[in-house]
Amino acid sequence: MKAGIGIIGVIVVLLVIFFGVPMAAGGSTNVCQALEKHNVSQTAQNITGTSNGPVHNIINSVGQSFATGEGEQQKQAAEHPNTPSVVSCAAAYWKTL
């Protein structure tokens, strides 16, 4: 019985990490929005070649204001129709690291 409770505990911790880290990093309770915000930040960094500075900050700020998560959710639903979008978004976030 104790082994079963331990296994369940480990699974719960892994699920919290799998979904919680992207949401905490993205500052959102929506994992698809967190992924979209992460993608915007990466794109701003790719465009400017830096993760700071006035041009980066402007590009990132404008992009972040449009990052609702709806576009990413639709994209994940189209790419993985048999997987819940929340799971696909979390998996996609981890793939970008």
5: left (phi over 0), alpha (psi -120 to 50) or beta: alpha
Q: What is the pTM of this model?
A: 0.85
Alpha-carbon gap, residue 73 to 70, rounded angstroms: 5
40: pLDDT confidence band, cut at 50, 70 and 90? Answer: very high
Query: For 12-28, what is each residue's pLDDT tens digit?
Result: 999 999 999 999 998 89
Mean of pLDDT values over 64-86: 95
